[in-house]
Chains A and B, each alone.
Chain A
Amino acid sequence: DQQVKQNSPSLSVQEGRISILNCDYTNSMFDYFLWYKKYPAEGPTFLISISSIKDKNEDGRFTVFLNKSAKHLSLHIVPSQPGDSAVYFCAASYVTGTASKLTFGTGTRLQVTL
């Protein structure tokens, strides 16, 4: 049962345009959401996060939007740059017992073309 879904395995965007990556979740207990970026042969690196009490969080070119009623979040990258080409993972967490655990989506490969 995939609780966090990224339905687009890949996305191609021109340099300078907006990239929009989407993520859906099914578990209403999730209260913290994160986006990670992963280059080949490297570990995922934290990009941006949002708490369930907010609906938007910005950090430079990156903005995450959360729609709790739709159980949907999205990552906007504006403007997109070639260095943004990577796999992006959406993750969600809630505290269970003594620890919070992340549930990851399957990733979206973003290619930013010149």
Chain B
Amino acid sequence: NAGVTQTPKFRVLKTGQSMTLLCAQDMNHEYMYWYRQDPGMGLRLIHYSVGEGTTAKGEVPDGYNVSRLKKQNFLLGLESAAPSQTSVYFCASRDNTDTQYFGPGTRLTVL
């Protein structure tokens, strides 16, 4: 039982490049979330999903897109990376008690 996994762990992009971050969970959770964490700030919600085929915007959605084609996977895409998107990205899934379980994070640097 791996819980929540994220790939890749690290990535360096040039401004304007695109990439996709993959999140996978094996707990059969309906709800999944993408956050970013920046120095001196708490985790901020980018997008979330309440089930397969659904997505919704969070607090800081601009510059990101998401897809939830399969229940166990939640993808976060950056179409044209900007230095302001340098951050650590965390994926989470939620159980029935409203508790979220987090992946190990992806450290992204945009030059």
| Residues of A that sit less than 8 Å from B by CB | 4, 32, 34, 36, 41-46, 49, 89, 91, 93, 97-107
Contact = CB atoms under 8 A, between A and B. Distances in A.
Nearest to A104: B42
Given A99-B56, A105-B42, A107-B42, A45 B102 contact: yes
A32 B97 CA distance: 10
Contacts of B101: 46
Interface stretch (B43-51, B68-76, B77-85): B43-51
Interface size class of B (residues with CB under 8 A): 20 to 34
B17 to A, nearest CB: 24
B interface majority secondary structure:
strand
Given A43-B4, A43-B90, A101-B48, 5 more contacts: A41-B105, A42-B104, A89-B42, A101-B33, A104-B44
Given A42-B105, A99-B50, A34 B43 contact: no
B42 A101 contact: no
Chain A interface helix/strand/loop/mixed: strand
Contacts, number: 56
Contact of B43 (A42, A49, A104): A104
8 contacts: A32-B98, A43-B90, A43-B102, A46-B99, A46-B101, A99-B56, A101-B48, A107-B42
A43 B105 contact: yes
Given A44-B90, A104-B42, A49 B105 contact: no
B70 to A, nearest CB: 19
Contacts of A4: 42
Nearest to A49: B99
A42 B4 CA distance: 12
A101 B58 contact: yes
Interface string B27-49: 00001010000001111110010
A99 B102 contact: no
B43 A99 contact: no
B101 to A, nearest CB: 7
B50 A106 contact: no
